[in-house]
Amino acid sequence: MNSVRRGTTWILAMVASMSLGAGAMVWSQPKPTLKAPLKTPTDLSLSFREAAKHVLPSVVSIQAVTKGTTRTVRGNDEMLDDLNQEEILRRFLGEGLPRGFGRGGRGGYVPQQIGTGSGVIIDSSGVILTNSHVVAQADEVTVELQSGHRLKAKSWATDPRRDVAIVKVESSDLLPAAEIGDSDEMQIGDWVLALGNPFNVGTSVTQGIISATGRTTNINELESYIQTDAAVNPGNSGGPLINLNGQVIGINTAISSNSGGYDGVSFAIPINMVRGIADQLISTGTVKRSYLGIGLQPLDEKLQSYFNVESGVLVTLVNPDTPASKAGVEPRDIIVEIAGKKITNRSMLMNLVDGLPAGKAQSLVVLRDGKRVELSVTPEEMPEGYTSALKRTMKSAEPEKVDEKTEAKLGISVMSISPEVAQQLGLKDSVKGVVVRKVELGGAAQEAGIGGGDVIVSVNQQPVTTPEEFGEALKKGDAKKGHLLEVSRDGASLLVVVHPTE
């Protein structure tokens, strides 16, 4: 398992900007047309050219739009978690990521976010493979083909544990699908090409070799990356890594960098890890996975010496009423084999267990107090939200219901000040009015400088304390002259004139 060097950042290769295991399916795959890679050094350039030419028509650019909104009011601990996650994402995606909390107030307006990534067509009916982090939070997804034609995605489904996603589009014509290769056949030193849309400049091709296999970075929960020195930059996420036969053998996902850009260390998810997950996402939109219910720790040199073992994974925790507890697994057991396969590291075990069929007993061999113990364990389907990655994809609990009113001509939604809203926004008891819950991007209210989290105290010099009073005060005003709003922001009061749109 790799350790992250001090000062090194693992970067998801996606551009962000601000505006304000099931059975295998049969994919509609093209027949192999390229010959084996050319052998002589003088022919290497031609080999690159032919491989790129073969796959480029299947590479797409993806734009993922998350609509602007006011962050829902929630508890302090959860709000702090959001702030921490925002700073982590800023390290990954750069300072272009918009701040989630407007004007220093909690629950502020989150501007519209536009992320760009890449993808590859794997079925001519309109099935595109990309990364989960490219589309997971999107409200709208648009795919741009090599022809320049843009298609709105009709659906997308994600697996956050492996960072894999499927996007589906509809087209009147069959789309050019890339040929899928065998990542297990790739070896260190093999030439590869990385294709994608870095920095949203347009589809590009870079070359390199496979530097290592089976790499882990702790970016995602299930990992076994192909490491390459092919240049991958923000925007390349989801694009294909191909061999010189023009076959997709990986999906570009992340880079390791001290500079924030390409430093010669790029990571791709092996296509053989992707296929079974993609099949499930295509057919059902979800992924069924198994679990044992244990906490694991890799064995470093000191632990290997202490336990007198060369490989395996240390069990640190056994959760009650789980497959592992029912099988008799104990803390400090060292798992060395499952389902007949020897376990060399934590990543290998997690990937194997995730794909085991639920309800089918499997052999499990552990070392306990230096002795080999054989057990039988029956994996079960993993509960919803069992891991951190899966929790992030769960639907949030219903927010507190408050009175709300939307004024379309002003492009604004306001809500009453409940005790919870007042607490989250840090409002004093003396502050009366209605809170701006959301402003429409480019609407009259936003153009006038009003933002989410502002408190409107009066409308046309008439105090308002409920959304209904807000609406009535607007009706009494002169739309042609504009509406005079008194706004409380960060303890200060200001007057704003808003002219409704026609």
What are the catalytic residues? 133, 163, 237
Q: 163 labelled as ligand-binding?
A: yes
- Provide φ and ψ at 393, rounded to 5°: -95, -5
Q: Specify the residue for token string 């694009």.
A: 239
**Residue 53, token pair as written in the block:** 């030419």
Question: Distance between CA 296 and CA 316 in Å, rounded?
Answer: 6
**Residue 269, token pair as written in the block:** 């998810």
Element holding 279 (H helix, E strand): helix 271-283
Question: Distance between CA 123 and CA 119 in Å, rounded?
Answer: 12
Q: Are the CB atoms for 396 and 78 separated by under 8 Å? A: no
- Residue ranges in 67-177 assigned as alpha helix (H): 76-93, 132-135
Cα distance between the two ends of the chain? 61
Question: Distance between CA 250 and CA 274 in Å, rounded?
Answer: 8
In one-letter notation, the amino acid at residue 338 is: I
Query: Nearest to residue 28, comparing CAs of 147, 196, 180?
Result: 180
In total, the chain counts a number of residues equal to 502
Q: 81 labelled as ligand-binding?
A: no
DSSP state of 396: P
Q: Are the CB atoms for 224 and 273 separated by under 8 Å? A: yes
**Residue 31, token pair as written in the block:** 């027949």
Q: 54 labelled as ligand-binding?
A: no
Query: Nearest to residue 29, comparing CAs of 130, 123, 120?
Result: 123
Q: 483 labelled as ligand-binding?
A: no
Q: How many CB atoms lie within 10 A of CB 184?
A: 11
Question: Distance between CA 392 and CA 78 in Å, rounded?
Answer: 12
Query: Buried (b) or exposed (e) across 395-409, using 16+ Cβ within 10 A?
Result: eeeeeeebeebebeb
Q: 233 labelled as ligand-binding?
A: no
**Residue 244, token pair as written in the block:** 């010189």
**Residue 400, token pair as written in the block:** 């507190």
- Provide φ and ψ at 424, rounded to 5°: -70, -35
**Residue 118, token pair as written in the block:** 């890449």
Beta pairing partners, 192: 208
Q: Is 495 helix (H, G, I), strand (E, B) or coil?
A: strand
Name the binding residues for substrate.
133, 163, 235-237
Annotation: binding site: 133, 163, 235-237
